[in-house]
Structure 1
Amino acid sequence: MTDQKPVDIASLDWPTKANILSEALPFMRRFAGKTFVIKYGGHAMGDDHLADLFARDVVLLKQVGINPVIVHGGGPQIGKMLERLKIQSQFIDGLRITDEATVEIVEMVLAGSINKHLVGAINRAGGLAVGLSGKDANLITARRLTRTKVDPDSHIEKVLDLGFVGEPETVNAKVLEVFAQSDIIPVIAPTAIGSKGETFNINADTAAGAIAGALGATRLLLLTDVAGVLDKSKTLLKELSTEDSRRLIADGTISGGMIPKIETCVSAVMQGVEGAVILDGRVPHAILLEIFTSGGVGTLVRRG
């Protein structure tokens, strides 16, 4: 999938171009004025060509009346910076243990270089993007995330210290609602502020889900490095209810890193998001294909 090239629109004949626009029009009308929270991460962030296409697609959404809210990750970039600074990282269940020194680097990379690179790409594509972190205007407040683990020898449950890894407590939706009434596209780094003024690192999927829920978004889109949720025969599941999602986790069809993504989707739709989608960010124009075509390209999770 990573070597898939985008269609050269200029080379298409006029009837084909007209058909493409005609199919998209009903979806543009349906979603005009609606809010879409898009988590941007995975392979697409490391590919300049895909990043430029993503930026253009986000600008297009704004132009047709959709309110895109972008939340980005940056795990690989954080890892590279920590390596350069010779700071070792440890992980528990995929979460980086974040001490005081590490959280400073996390904030520098997320709210600094990554955020501003994405803001610049959207602005170059003709948009008007503004970079934020969850700390700005108390956009996201957080509490310390805790994990427990049962010791295999003593069978005693122990609380694991993840340091400055947090989970969202509140989202100040009013800040983002102001942007929805303007031409501005908010681009959010998933750091948050604690009750004592401390900085917390938030998983980007989790942050996006919390923001989507607070805004009552029409869609939460999680861009990842797989096509979506696959069944046991490796066929893409186009749509799941929340009940289906829980059942597939229980029987092992959904496993590994897909579990927290699905849990984020389920949590979002239970908070009032109309639908949450897991889709492949490696596919050029993935968000346009998901939003403006009848079949979509990912796995849609709805309440039920």
Structure 2
Amino acid sequence: MSNHNPLVIKIGGAILEKSGALDALLAVIVNLKTEAKVVLVHGGGCVVDEMLAQAGFTTVKKHGLRVTPKEQIGLISGALAGTVNKSIVATASSMNLPAVGLSLADGDMIACTKSELDLGEVGVPIPKSSLLLDSLLNSHFLPVVSSIGCLANGDLVNVNADDAAVAICQLLNAELLLLTDVNGVKGSDGEYLPSLNSTQANDLIEQGVIAGGMTAKVNAALQAANQLRRSITVASWQSPEKIPSLLSGQGMGTQILAD
């Protein structure tokens, strides 16, 4: 193993919907793992929406974040920590990539407090113990972590997957790559920005240029950049072949900068 910091890669549900996209990313991770320790953190909003719709529930979002009513948390955690997590592990396994599926509460890695935003059963992740992840990474496993956590009283909570990835990044002092279905963050001219700081981001959010789910993603990345004192990358999962260039210090997507 080289001296690279670990790399935390966050993926959303969209990559699972597009045929071959997850395989392409995992093929890159197979090669990356010879250079760096990799952790995969995932959401899975579209799978959750589908399963909720089948059960007769509607999906409500506020500020680009999912509202999780108490009666839905069982289904949502089943979709994310169950269906989505195990299908990623199974795909990795089919490519001879030894993966281990986890949720945030496993091994006491991430503690959660209840979100103060009015979002229902939603948690705010706090890094706690890296012991489990360290031992898995040192044994050359690929940890695949779903964004389901628990409160101190044992209640399950849904955590925004970008925030979950940030917390794991802090836990491991890792590099962070937030993969989305676009090539980065767009400026007011509609072009992708090579970099973005908090002043620019706040202006673009105010203008409505950055909106919906991208707002939550950019805010999570800014928080991580400031806490870790390094830039965070927001880029597309549609070009996974560019990821190794990140480790050699070249840019891809939009670099979110610390203040």
CA distance in 2, matches of 1:249, 1:171: 31
User: 1:202: which partner in 2?
Assistant: 159
TM-score, scaled to structure 1 = 0.78
User: 1:275: which partner in 2?
Assistant: 231
User: 2:144: which partner in 1?
Assistant: 187
Instruction: Check whether the contact 1:171–1:211 (CA below 8 A) recurs between aligned residues.
Output: no
How do residues 5-84 of structure 1 correspond to structure 2 at under 5 angstroms?
Answer: 32-63=3-34, 65-84=35-54
CA distance in 2, matches of 1:94, 1:257: 4
CA distance in 2, matches of 1:223, 1:212: 14
State the Cα deviation string for residues 205-234 of structure 1 (Å, max 9, x = none): 1100111122211x2111112111122211
Instruction: Check whether the contact 1:290–1:298 (CA below 8 A) recurs between aligned residues.
Output: no
Picking from 245, 256, 259, the partner of 2:212 is 256
Partner SS state of residue 48, structure 1: coil
User: 1:145: which partner in 2?
Assistant: 115
User: 1:227: which partner in 2?
Assistant: 183
State the Cα deviation string for residues 115-157 of structure 1 (Å, max 9, x = none): 111112222222211000112122222111122xxxxxxxxxx
Q: Which amino acid aligns with 1:67?
A: K
Consecutive unaligned residues of structure 1, counting only runs of 5 or more, are 1-28, 148-159
User: 1:17: which partner in 2?
Assistant: none
Q: 1:42 to 1:226 in 2, by over 3 A?
A: farther
CA RMSD across the alignment = 2.2
Instruction: Check whether the contact 2:184–2:254 (CA below 8 A) recurs between aligned residues.
Output: yes
Partner SS state of residue 178, structure 2: strand
CA distance in 1, matches of 2:108, 2:24: 31
- Quote how far apart the aligned CAs of 1:273 are: 5.3
Picking from 104, 120, 135, the partner of 2:90 is 120
User: 2:105: which partner in 1?
Assistant: 135
Picking from 131, 137, 147, the partner of 1:174 is 131
Partner SS state of residue 263, structure 1: helix
Consecutive unaligned residues of structure 2, counting only runs of 5 or more, are none
Q: Bigger CA drift: 167-176 or 46-55?
A: 167-176
TM-score, scaled to structure 2 = 0.90
Picking from 205, 222, 225, the partner of 1:266 is 222
Instruction: Check whether the contact 2:14–2:46 (CA below 8 A) recurs between aligned residues.
Output: no
Q: Which ranges of 4 or more aligned residues in structure 1 deviate by more than 4 Å?
A: 250-253, 289-293
CA distance in 2, matches of 1:273, 1:119: 32
Point out the structure with max Rg over C-alpha: 1
Q: Which amino acid aligns with 1:233?
A: D
Instruction: Check whether the contact 1:238–1:298 (CA below 8 A) recurs between aligned residues.
Output: yes
Q: 1:102 to 1:256 in 2, by over 3 A?
A: closer
User: 2:253: which partner in 1?
Assistant: 298
Instruction: Check whether the contact 1:37–1:68 (CA below 8 A) recurs between aligned residues.
Output: yes
Instruction: Check whether the contact 1:40–1:70 (CA below 8 A) recurs between aligned residues.
Output: yes
Instruction: Check whether the contact 1:280–1:286 (CA below 8 A) recurs between aligned residues.
Output: no
